[in-house]
Amino acid sequence: MRDGTYVHLRSAGTSLVLDCTGSGLPWVVHWGEDLGELSRDALAALARAEVPQIASNNVGTVVPAALLPEHSAGWLGTPGLSGHRAGADFSTAFAVTSLQTAARSLTVIAEDVRAELELRVEVELTDSGLVRQRATVSSRAAADAAPFTLSGVLLTLPVPERATELLDMTGRHLRERTPQRHEFTLGTHLRENRKGRTGTDAATVHVAGERGFGFRSGEVWGLHVAWSGNQRSLAERTHAGVSLLGGGELLLAGELDLGAEESYTTPWVYGSYGRNGLDELAGRFHTHLRGRERHPSTPRPVTLNVWEAVYFDHDLGKLTELADLAAEVGAERFVLDDGWFRGRRDDHAGLGDWYVDEGVWPEGLHPLTRHVRGLGIEFGLWVEPEMVNPNSDLARAHPEWIMATGDRMPPESRQQQVLDLGHPGAYDYILERLDAIVTEYELTYLKWDHNRDLVEAGHSPTGRAGVHAQTRAVYRLLDTLRSRHPRLEIESCSSGGGRVDLGILERTDRVWTSDCIDALERQQIQRWTGLLLPPELMGAHVGAPTAHTTGRTHALGFRAGTALFGHFGIEWDLTRATAEDRAALAEWIALYKTLRPLLHTGDVVRGDHPDTALWTHGVVARDRSRAVYALVQVATSAVSPPGRVALPGLDPEATYRVAPLPPGDRLAGSRAETLPWWGEGVTLPGRALATVGVRAPIQWPERLVLIEAVRV
């Protein structure tokens, strides 16, 4: 609601209070726990109580951090808008001309008459309690005026002084989403990404919180930039006592010049609040994603991807045998990975030549698709439309379609360069090829890969920076393809988990969480990807006993139990699996099919266990009638037997029957018979299970067991 010049937005336990008094841009008085209904007088008093004194040797006025902070208002931190018009107008001074309010949103229109700019800021509170905001900057200069060179737009949200610790992610290929924590000190903690994609080392969610916050405790505030190209996020604390989180697109030099009546709209910047830890913060993102119009509504099919089974060696006999075995164990989708198109016998050639290789597939892919669909299994295909091998017919015919600075080629990565989708000819070619392939083979699934960072990504022949245009073109390509093929699902893969953000997920149906499917590595990767994504959007596959990427060997129960808490699939040459292994895999697949209505709609919970060698995580039904937990031994513990583990998220007033869940109940060599409750189960109130917990069984390292709690 809006009451006078104060706006109070409320949703799902979150309040956002904005002070819109005066002519300057609004500032946030409070973002956090729901304050309940407040009168205009109470809102005014709250704002007045937040105004600080003027300290010595500062500007002679109060300088609150606006949604878009301005240097002209006395803000000496990172500016909200950076740019100039032929060297002038480097410091904007926007005056509000209009405020438009709705039940849970505010739109601010402001202008800087001197700089001839208009600013539109949209602020919303979503159904799940997320704050999201974006801005549009428009040039209102005459046609003969110099363009406004826009360098960046930063949207911010304040956090209170008690947020003294920061958490964000780093990582690399095969080890995405590695958490790092440190003090929230004076100054700026800046995370910039110049890779042209979200990045395997992306901050993902930039979190500030109370010291020692965990998954189930401590007050936290987090920010996410919903953009798949270059981006930045920061946590900033000034000596004047202002603390904030901010983010936006990172624009390269000269990338955006706004001519007369031209505009730029930022990506959405999301803020999530958790009164009781990271699970609550993550849950708001999960609920928001599940509420999307195009969120997958059908059960997430068990997916067999053949990459690690055949690599580039495509043979119809081998592939049909894999399909037969996939059907035997219960797979529901078959994905033919890299190697199906012209000249693609290894990764040195062929990217860009999106025609089925007649030498390998003389009848096209039809014999394989007929066989797969005859088994009742969907058929999908791998593509990498944004890339091109220099050794390809496409690159030889159109060298001007390769992103470059104009007089030199960027260094190659994986023997490939980047196709400039900002070039109309390149865009039209890729759209035509993808549309033709999807149509001919009636595809329902594309694994859309993106296997290199963008280096010196310019438009040829001018060399002008082109990452912004490239990202927009990719979005437009995905949107167009899906509008032509409404049943088509698309996976966002980018060297594994290199493009995981809410911008790409407006257009895709899951992400390939990592190229590493070593179950031990995946425990951490999935744990922290879950800070943003719910399980059904995370591709999680069962690999071979010995991992392709690390050389580690794991038992099937650990591999399958890890994959269970995602969008389950198989990345294993089943022709090399024993009949016993395939039978055991079929058990796990049957369990996944039984549990996916719970796993893909329930609340994700993670325990804050004091022993770092023992992790607890699970999913609790929204009505709290049922839950499934994994107790994961990720390393050798300093103590044996292990202590108690709490089972979080249950209804404290309800009573639950807790017991091991087959086939995740097998404890090889652990003497489980000496743990009384393990064999018999136990019935306890939810409050006791969340506080006292149950004794964990002894496990070997790199093992997990499953526990089910059912309300009685």
Known catalytic residues are 449, 515
Distances (CA, A) of 626 to 266, 594, 595, 659, 686: 41, 13, 10, 12, 11
**CB atoms inside a 10 Å sphere around CB 395:** 20
Structural contact between residues 542 and 571, judged by C-beta atoms closer than 8 angstroms? yes
Counting every residue, how long is the chain? 712
C-alpha 627/C-alpha 437 separation (Å) is: 42
Q: Classify 436 in phi/psi space as left (phi over 0), alpha (psi -120 to 50) or beta.
A: alpha
CA angle 282, 284, 290 (to 5 degrees): 105
Distances (CA, A) of 393 to 11, 72, 357, 365, 404: 54, 54, 13, 21, 18
Rg (CA), the chain: 27
**CB atoms inside a 10 Å sphere around CB 54:** 12
**Three-class SS state of 99:** strand
Q: Enter the DSSP assignment of 692.
A: T
C-alpha 302/C-alpha 326 separation (Å) is: 9
**Three-class SS state of 147:** coil
3-state helix, strand, coil split of the chain in percent (to 5) is: 25, 30, 45
Q: Identify any residues that bridge with 115 across adjacent strands, giving them in sequence order.
A: none
Rounded to 5 degrees, φ, ψ at 153 are -130, 125
C-alpha 542/C-alpha 304 separation (Å) is: 9
Distance of CA 379 to the CA centre of its chain: 25
**Three-class SS state of 111:** strand
Q: What is the maximum span of the chain, computed from C-alpha positions, in angstroms?
A: 85
